[in-house]
Structure 1
Amino acid sequence: MTYFIKADRFLLEKEEKSESYLQVVNDRFGEFTDAVPSDAEVVDWSGYTIAPGLFDTHIHGINGFDIMDGQAEAVHGISEAILPLGVTRFLPTTLTSSNKDLNAAISAVKEAVKHGLGGAQSEGIFLEGPYFTEKHKGAQNPIYFRDPDYMEYRKWQNLAEEGIVKIALAPERDSSMEFIRAVSNDGVLVSLAHTDASFEYCKDAIDAGAENFVHLFNGMSGVHHREPGVVGAALTDGRAFAELICDGFHVHPEIAVMADQIKDDKLTLITDCMRAGSMPDGKYQLGEFPVIMKDGIARTESGSLAGSTLKLVDGVKNLYQWSGKPLFEVWHRGSLSPAASLGRDEELGSIAGGKIADFVVVDDDLNIQATAVAGEFKYRKA
């Protein structure tokens, strides 16, 4: 299958390209050209922009589905619901829960992926927990918190058939540094989250191999001029990526812009979306906790933020409007940076010859008109 995409604008890694044709060969991007053969198949998106498919590396659920449902149907539902939102790749994300529920969630993802996902494609499982501490527990259930256990993790990894690609923990827990070294050596992205660790503990964790901070500013100790804390470590260490929920509620717009200025391409936009995403206000469930969504904001009964209902493309729109940076630069915070955090940027995250042809078509207001996964159009707006 070979065709050419015609469009007014293409968002590339370092620039925008105007009024050209982009070749797609099977599931890969080819080269740009100013003219095509007379018998070539041309998909004409004149008047629109072609951007890389978005990659949500932290999503629990959407549209009434949740990974912790422990059902393949939920994984399929999430895959299909995020496709019209411009997401082509995602990490099904768990919560701190019982071993029984975690096993069911892992098995459900494995089953759904083996069956074949019809929408956005899974790039592996993200285990958010259970190795956290209580002070910044958020919507994680503290009755299951415990110290990291490599053999326990290996059981989950075996169940997942090596499908776990990311795990989050609090580095101040006993045995964390040994765990971080071992899991990093397995090629898994170790992330710091729901933690009250000191700046020094975080630096030690980064030295040991932890290379990501989960939902920056949320679920962690903040910056103090005498104790930089977790946030200070995330912002000042150039080795680590940092996730940001860019909805304007979890993080103030000016702080989001500051984080973007400091972290640059090490900033990854995420949603942390839960089942209430794309649903009306009302009562929902996040893991074992009842959640109330009002005005699109989900909170536990105690008032804590409970994930989000953000659409990743809206996070991109927000940062674009707040920062004033070029669109191609901001867009890659939701595509290339997430891929790079997982070591997948040679294959995914941007429009470049030889990469997997994940892309979206957007109008001038960044509304999604079409989404293609590996060169195949899987969604077109009616």
Structure 2
Amino acid sequence: MSTLLRARRILTATDDLHDGWLAVDDAGTVIGSGSGTPPRTETAVTIEGTVLPGAVDLHAHGALGHDFATASVDGAARAAGHHHARGTTSLVASVATGPVPETIAALRRLSGLVTAGTLAGLHLEGPWLSPARRGAHRADLLHAPDPAELDAFLTAADGALRIVTLAPELPGATDAVRHLVDAGVVVAIGHTDASADEVRAAIDEGAALVTHLFNGMPPLHHRRPGPVGVALTDDRVLVECIVDGHHLDPSTVELVQRAAPDRLVLVSDAMAATGCGDGERVIAGSAVSVRDGVALLADGSSLAGSTITVQDGARRLLDGGTPLPAVVAATSTRPARVLGLPAPLTVGAPADVVVIDEAPGTAVSSHGAQSAPWRVLDLRTIPAVAR
């Protein structure tokens, strides 16, 4: 059995198809795509709107009051479900700094959700971060990488650990980068006070990602370029950006798009209050206050994650005039590549499909999420969602 999706426009990792079609087998895998006259299939459905791949979020701490570092398995699944219903079809759960035994327990607890396919992997953000650029991470829990601790984390995650953020200037960081890369883990540079030379040295050892560029690092200086200067000029690294209107000014986002147009990756950095109202929370051991959807440390000294999903950031880019293919690359294609996933919506890839109305500012209702501008297509119920 196979299903044929037709739409006036379909975007994949490689093609922008007008009068497009996508053929999907009964296992939910893409088996073909093209424009114009499609092949015959058992079921053919015309979709109103533009079809594109679901987002891949490399950096999210939770939602609906659940923090991945402390949530139960059920709570973590609920948090992941919130992101999925809003167009993020692959989610990496970020575990922020905590006491080492609690971090080990979290990695063990969440690894089963990776095996089940609820999560696309785990991301360890801390404890190997710079106290000078700690953001919401508790200073007393931060320290240099320890080889035994590193192995304990890898063992606890049982293959589910996909990304580790660390500060490359810390003692032992170079060895840690090498060890993690050899273990198949993506090393991200973040929460760092490193010099440009220290950042380049980590990249030489295999670091391939920069965690939420501009945030958790010194600002760009014309004589001391630091992490930002290297990130914007070294083609070996992809750069995360949180496009929520608070972490980065729109002009800064444009700077990244101009300097590194083929390396931008949108992430949410969503914390537990995502999907909730304003109130008091705890993240990475620090008290956080959420007001008007903005998460700040209780003392107001730092932002503490966001309350968005990746597709909220994508909508901001679209509203600002970024072409849809560039948005798809930043939300789906590049982050999928980081995780070693198939190129989205190409032959052999899962048919993780969302539908949007491309007009800026226009919301398209989704299942149970009336304010979301993205509809997630569940191929098992496709006759009910097609028009």
TM over 0.5: yes
SS at match of 2:261: helix
For the structure 1 residues 135 and 362, does the alpha-carbon distance in structure 2 shift closer, same or farther, using more than 3 Å as the test?
A: same
Which residue of structure 1 aligns with residue 329 of structure 2? 332
Which residue of structure 2 aligns with residue 43 of structure 1? 45
Which residue of structure 1 aligns with residue 316 of structure 2? 318
How far apart are the structure 2 equivalents of 1:369 and 1:192?
31
How far apart are the structure 1 equivalents of 2:133 and 2:125?
14
1:24 aligns with 2:24: yes
SS at match of 1:242: strand
1:331 Cα offset (Å): 2.1
Alignment of 1:190-339 (within 5 A): 190-303=187-300, 304-322=302-320, 324-339=321-336
For the structure 1 residues 133 and 17, does the alpha-carbon distance in structure 2 shift closer, same or farther, using more than 3 Å as the test?
A: same
Which residue of structure 2 aligns with residue 362 of structure 1? 356
Q: Which structure 1 residue ranges, 4+ long, deviate > 6 Å from structure 2? A: none
Structure 2 counterpart of 1:104, which letter?
Answer: A
How far apart are the structure 2 equivalents of 1:226 and 1:16?
42
How far apart are the structure 1 equivalents of 2:185 and 2:88?
22
Q: What whole-Å deviation, never above 9, does each CA across 1:162-218 have from its counterpart, x for those lacking one? A: 211110111110011111111111111011111110011101111111111100000
Which residue of structure 2 aligns with residue 175 of structure 1? 172
1:243 Cα offset (Å): 0.3
Structure 1 counterpart of 2:22, which letter?
Answer: L
How far apart are the structure 2 equivalents of 1:241 and 1:36?
36
How far apart are the structure 1 equivalents of 2:134 and 2:224?
20
1:27 Cα offset (Å): 2.4
Which residue of structure 2 aligns with residue 9 of structure 1? 9
Q: What whole-Å deviation, never above 9, does each CA across 1:299-329 have from its counterpart, x for those lacking one? A: 011211011111211101112232x232112
Percent identity (aligned): 30
1:289 Cα offset (Å): 1.8
Q: What whole-Å deviation, never above 9, does each CA across 1:56-95 have from its counterpart, x for those lacking one? A: 0000001111101241012211221111210110111101
1:73 aligns with 2:78: no
For the structure 1 residues 153 and 32, does the alpha-carbon distance in structure 2 shift closer, same or farther, using more than 3 Å as the test?
A: same
Structure 2 counterpart of 1:12, which letter?
Answer: T
Q: What whole-Å deviation, never above 9, does each CA across 1:12-56 have from its counterpart, x for those lacking one? A: 3355212232111222212235345676202321x3110001000
Contact 1:168 1:214 in 2 (8 A): yes
Which residue of structure 1 aligns with residue 370 of structure 2? none
Structure 1 counterpart of 2:304, which letter?
Answer: A
Contact 2:10 2:21 in 1 (8 A): no
For the structure 1 residues 372 and 106, does the alpha-carbon distance in structure 2 shift closer, same or farther, using more than 3 Å as the test?
A: farther
1:372 Cα offset (Å): 4.2
Contact 1:371 1:380 in 2 (8 A): no
Contact 2:54 2:87 in 1 (8 A): yes
1:363 Cα offset (Å): 2.0
Contact 2:6 2:22 in 1 (8 A): yes
Q: What whole-Å deviation, never above 9, does each CA across 1:98-144 have from its counterpart, x for those lacking one? A: 01221221122123345x35xxx312110001101111110011111
Which residue of structure 1 aligns with residue 367 of structure 2? none
SS at match of 2:95: coil
1:332 Cα offset (Å): 1.9
Contact 2:3 2:41 in 1 (8 A): no
Moved more, 275-284 or 189-198: 275-284
Structure 1 counterpart of 2:43, which letter?
Answer: E
For the structure 1 residues 376 and 182, does the alpha-carbon distance in structure 2 shift closer, same or farther, using more than 3 Å as the test?
A: farther
SS at match of 1:68: coil
For the structure 1 residues 206 and 85, does the alpha-carbon distance in structure 2 shift closer, same or farther, using more than 3 Å as the test?
A: same
Task: Identify unmatched segments of 5+ residues in structure 2.
Answer: 365-372
For the structure 1 residues 167 and 369, does the alpha-carbon distance in structure 2 shift closer, same or farther, using more than 3 Å as the test?
A: closer
For the structure 1 residues 342 and 150, does the alpha-carbon distance in structure 2 shift closer, same or farther, using more than 3 Å as the test?
A: farther
Contact 1:361 1:369 in 2 (8 A): yes
Contact 1:190 1:211 in 2 (8 A): yes
Which residue of structure 1 aligns with residue 142 of structure 2? 145
Which residue of structure 2 aligns with residue 58 of structure 1? 59
The number of residues matched between the two structures is 371
The TM-score, its normalising length taken from structure 2, stands at 0.90
How far apart are the structure 1 equivalents of 2:112 and 2:42?
39
The TM-score, its normalising length taken from structure 1, stands at 0.91
How far apart are the structure 1 equivalents of 2:39 and 2:225?
59
How far apart are the structure 2 equivalents of 1:221 and 1:39?
56
For the structure 1 residues 104 and 16, does the alpha-carbon distance in structure 2 shift closer, same or farther, using more than 3 Å as the test?
A: same
